[in-house]
Amino acid sequence: MTNPIGPILAEDEGFTHQITETFANVGSSDPSWTEKVCAMAMARDGSLQIGFGLGKYTNRNVMDGYGAVSRGIEQFTVRASRVLAPDPTTTRIGPLHYEVIEPLRRVRFWLEANDTQPIAFDWLFEAVVPPFEEERSHRRRDYRLATDLVRYHQTGVCSGWIEVDGDRTEMTPDGWVSTRDHSWGVRYDVGTPPTDTQSSEGIPDGAGFQMIWCPVLMQRVDGSYYALHLHYVWHALGDHGQKMVTARVEHVDGSSDQIVDIVPHLRFDPDNRRLLGGELDCRMADGSERPLTIEVLGDTGVQLGAGLYFGLDGHHHGEWRGDLHVDGEHIADCSTPEQARRLHQIRDTTVRVLDPVGGAEGWGNCQPIAAGPWPDLGLGNESWM
């Protein structure tokens, strides 16, 4: 064929096409084009936590992912990668599985017992609030598109089990919280950085950069729920800075109230830059104030660097590892400065949030970054990324 199209998949039977291609291909030839899911489940006391991620890199012919368990200061991680063809729609990579049980309502994440690490889990995410879209991530580096990504997140509860060293813990909706997100598009930090192009950094190096991304399930005294999504970015630019806030109070009926500004008062450990807690002064769209208190639970949280976020020991998301590759490790102490540097500081941090205005407390996943110098926080000049 002079103008070939992709193979026909079962998904092509439906009336859901949006580009002049089959579902086997995507509408971009960029090798950084990625579809990714990422999820977290946590005990409400922060004593045990799971992380899961799965990515599909159509133009790299790769699907990869990770499953991790954080317990105290230790973390167990299993990573897996496989060739995408000829089965691009099966979301399984060795012992890792992802399954949509009921679209936008119930999703299953599980890790089979394996020879790599003594962990396994099977958890069912059940939504409390509908999914909410985030702002499109669109960034250029000079004339080159660096990021063009859409994402939604969702907050809920979960059920299932976790095994660590043969010890099984049951997960119940009244004692566990789960969050997830799903994104697709051209993504940063995919594959081994090319050597024949200008470098394209993920987190700005050497400049002050601070971020939190934090979905939280909130519960009122009467037992009813709502959610918070707190997303704040500050990027120092010379003598000034650029601030972005995309945050909301999210209700079970699908409505939301916008948070238009966040002034953070956060504390970080200067040795490993782990979030220690703090306050967020939030301002709503109607001008009212909504102060929030963040209490960090657990000792470290799931270190996403072990899942290849921003690379690990020379390996990266989307990297070709052959037909099937499974590896992982047990880190006995993730709190040391040495491991924090190796793992880049970004974590799924278990938090408890107090919202006096909403009359509720909540539990969720805070991903914080404090890169570069922050003298007012007691953080030195190291970029940490």
Decide if 7 is inside a domain: no
For residue 53, what are the domain limits?
30-192+204-377
Kind and range of the H or E element at 337? helix 337-343
Three-state SS for 375? helix
Task: Count the domains in the chain.
Answer: 1
Decide if 198 is inside a domain: no
Whether the ω angle into residue 86 lies within 30 degrees of 0, i.e. cis, is yes
Decide if 197 is inside a domain: no
Decide if 20 is inside a domain: no
Decide if 21 is inside a domain: no
**What pLDDT is recorded for position 195?**
77
Contact between 73 and 299 (Cβ < 8 Å): yes
Kind and range of the H or E element at 122? strand 119-127
Decide if 47 is inside a domain: yes
**What pLDDT is recorded for position 376?**
81
Read off the CATH number of the domain in which 167 is found: 2.40.370.10
**What pLDDT is recorded for position 239?**
65
Show the tokens assigned to 45: 């006391």
Decide if 12 is inside a domain: no
Tell me which residues of the chain have a pLDDT lower than 70.
Answer: 1-2, 199-207, 237-239, 381-385
Cβ-based neighbour number of residue 261 at 10 Å: 14
**What pLDDT is recorded for position 19?**
86
**What pLDDT is recorded for position 137?**
81
Per-residue pLDDT tens over the stretch 42-67 = 999 999 999 999 999 999 999 999 99
**What pLDDT is recorded for position 206?**
54
Three-state SS for 339? helix
**What pLDDT is recorded for position 205?**
53
Decide if 3 is inside a domain: no
